[in-house]
Amino acid sequence: MQPLLGPGDPPPFSVHNEQGKAPLLLLCDHASRAVPRALAGLGLPASALSRHIGWDIGALDAALELSARLDAPLVASGYSRLVIDCNRWPGGDGSIPEISDDTEVPANRGLTEEQIDQRAQACFWPYHHEVDRRLDSMTRNGRAVCLLVVHSFTPEMNGFKRPWHLGVLWNDDPRLAQPLLAELRRDRALAVGDNEPYSARASYEYTLAAHARPRALPHCSLEIRQDLIGTPNEARGWGGKLASPIGAAVAAALA
């Protein structure tokens, strides 16, 4: 089978602030709504890909601001989560959804193992191999670093209006998550979810399990509600607002 990506397709990942000096690697698993040209938009209109089903709205802009404010390197995925989800185990539940939030994805129906592997080789593994390379470099000579994945979430799902402004997702390592929850909750105006609206303890969670847990790095994911970061300016504003709490939490985690 021919490679999925061709001339004119964007790269499968991007790296920002490559020389950042902070003991923190930022990731954005759902940074893009791009689709390889060969997949013809997955049979969806551009308006569908622009919704939360196609990417994490505002997450990349918030992560870019965090990268600049904290002087931390950032690795961002290059393709829509509907092509293949970079935070799901390849071939597993939700990796290449045929239906997402009641929207059918025509090009994802009835894929063969070869087609699934083609997407993984083109859009999933290059991103995660880059994360490994970054962590190898940052932890050389025993340097201690943290890993933080930046996500965003839709304000309403299945008729439920989510009350949280932010969520901290973690499994069984409290070193970064608990200080971050404490720092965020200093602002009494914020509703901060602890493993809400999703949980890092879910079996489908890939990124933290694959990269941070085997290396014993302090880690968690941060979720930001999408109606707060719907424009680049709003997202950058929240990135700026969150930089100090995250910086303090990283310092506490590595103390």
Per-residue pLDDT of the chain (255 residues; tens, 9 = 90+): 778 999 999 999 999 999 999 999 999 999 999 999 999 999 999 999 999 999 999 999 999 999 999 999 999 999 999 999 999 999 999 999 999 999 999 999 999 999 999 999 999 999 999 999 999 999 999 999 999 999 999 999 888 999 999 999 999 999 999 999 999 999 999 999 999 999 999 999 999 999 999 999 999 999 999 999 999 999 999 999 999 999 999 999 999
Q: Are 71 and 17 in contact (CB under 8 A)?
A: yes
Residue 121 structural domain? 13-254
In a domain, 25, yes or no: yes
Look at residues 153, 129, 160 and name the one whose alpha carbon lies nearest to residue 221.
Answer: 153
Number of domains present in the structure of the chain:
1
Q: Are 73 and 26 in contact (CB under 8 A)?
A: yes
Determine the number of helices (DSSP H) and then strands (DSSP E) in the chain. 8, 11
- Please indicate, yes or no, whether the overall pTM of this predicted structure exceeds 0.95: yes
In a domain, 8, yes or no: no
Q: Cα separation of 104 and 112, whole Å?
A: 18
In a domain, 2, yes or no: no
Residues in contact with 103: Cβ distance below 8 Å, sequence separation at least 6, in sequence order: 44, 48, 51, 53
Q: In the Cβ-directed half-sphere of 162, how many Cα atoms lie within 13 Å?
A: 24
Q: Residue 224's domain is classified under what CATH number?
A: 3.40.630.40
In a domain, 18, yes or no: yes
In a domain, 96, yes or no: yes
In a domain, 49, yes or no: yes
In a domain, 212, yes or no: yes
